[in-house]
Amino acid sequence: MVDVTVRGAGVFGLAVAWACLTRGASVRVIDPNGVAAGASGGLVGALAPHTPERWNDKKELQFQSLDMAETFWAGVAEAGGVDPGYARTGRIQPVGSLDLATERACAAEDLWKGKYRWEIRDARDFAPFTPLTPTGLVIHDTLTARAHPRKATAALATALTAKGVEIVAEAAEQGQIVHATGAAGLLAVSEQIGKPVGAAIKGQSALLAHDARHAPQIFVDGLHAVPHADGTVAIGSTTEREFDDPQGCDGALEDILGRIVRLIPALRGAPVVERWAGLRPRARSRAPMLGVWPGRTGEFIANGGFKIGFGMAPIVGTLMADLILDGQDRIPDSFRVAASIPKG
């Protein structure tokens, strides 16, 4: 008999399992498809904050999660002996409006508690791995980090099993039950309550063979270029609400690859070593969906980490463990399941 059953071995499910385990609970993880079989098995791994302005619950929780990520992933690596590919290497992005960039730099000093910087720098300071910029300037933030999605989930899974947690294809549900089942889970919740609470969004990404492992990642024209520690750079992602083949790579990926090599000259000629496509869970609220499953006693939901799942995983695990084990509900209204249920 275990205290907590987690359905779903993506980053949210594994993070919830880890948080519960560290509180002393016995845990079992169930996923018929294995670890990181869905969106968590992607390539990009940008742990990047929203802009430091118009502050709200989502941005504050994201900041807290990014701030605690270094300690979180270090603990995971120590427990299991597997490197998650985490590093706080920062991020650069072109400056379009100097006035706006300056305003945000000032705001970041307060909103980021003086721990991290959002600063305006000469793009040449980061050459050769730097984007084209109309002003010759870039924003450099020191809060952003990276984690290799597959290595990070493997590190979590290994840490859990090293501490006695079973990760199995199927088993009887026991104790409190957490559903962290990604895009399929959003569909299941929608069907159960009879209203759409979210959707599956297709994403495509790629890995290029270019070693910039110590450089800040780049965000340019809506695209991430994330250097990983293995000498690759992840490029992504597309955002496709309509699609025929959920796992198929097609012209949409070739389009972003063409764009990125124009925007980041250092990547020109870098060979593509892998392409990936899959479905990512986007809750209707656009925030993670956390809390009690409506109408199901002892069952909980941790889902909807569209684009920000790896960055939010540490705080999601903490919030869910608080709720499941201690009955302490610190989940903001905008993150609750009710926030994604259409009214009327």
Contact, 101 vs 120, CB < 8 A? yes
- pLDDT band with cut points at 50, 70 and 90 for residue 77: very high
Residue 268: per-residue pLDDT: 98
Domains of the chain: 4-340 (3.50.50.60)
DSSP 216: P
Indicate whether 65 pLDDT > 90. yes
What integer is the mean pLDDT of 6-26? 99
Percent residues over pLDDT 70 in the chain: 100
Residue with tokens 């880890």: 18
pLDDT tens, 250-263? 999 999 999 999 99
Residue 97: per-residue pLDDT: 93
What integer is the mean pLDDT of 112-119? 97
Indicate whether 287 pLDDT > 80. yes
Indicate whether 279 pLDDT > 80. yes
Indicate whether 37 pLDDT > 90. yes
- pLDDT band with cut points at 50, 70 and 90 for residue 344: confident
Contacts of residue 290, Cβ cutoff 8 Å, sequence gap at least 6: 300, 301, 302, 303, 316, 319, 320, 323, 331, 335, 336, 337
Average pLDDT of the chain?
Answer: 98
Q: Mind giving me the DSSP string for 67-113?
A: HHHHHHHHHHHHHH------B---EEEE-S-HHHHHHHHHHHHHHTT
Q: Mind giving me the DSSP string for 275-337?
A: EEEEEEEEETTSS-EEEEPTT-TTEEEEE--TTTHHHHHHHHHHHHHHHHHH------GGGBG
Indicate whether 185 pLDDT > 90. yes
What integer is the mean pLDDT of 184-203? 96
Residue 138: per-residue pLDDT: 99
pLDDT tens, 19-33? 999 999 999 999 999
The mean-pLDDT minimum among 68-72, 127-131, 304-308 falls in: 304-308
Indicate whether 39 pLDDT > 90. yes
Please state, in angstroms and as integers, the Cα–Cα distance from residue 333 to each residue in 17, 284, 340, following that order.
23, 14, 10
pLDDT tens, 313-323? 999 999 999 99
Please state, in angstroms and as integers, the Cα–Cα distance from residue 109 to each residue in 53, 113, 122, 201, 333, following that order.
11, 6, 20, 34, 26
* SS3 category, 114: coil
The three-point CA angle 318-290-200 to 5° equals 125
Percent residues over pLDDT 90 in the chain: 99
DSSP 272: E
> Element (H or E) spanning 57, and its range?
helix 57-80
pLDDT tens, 212-252? 999 999 999 999 999 999 999 999 999 999 999 999 999 99
Contacts of residue 106, Cβ cutoff 8 Å, sequence gap at least 6: none
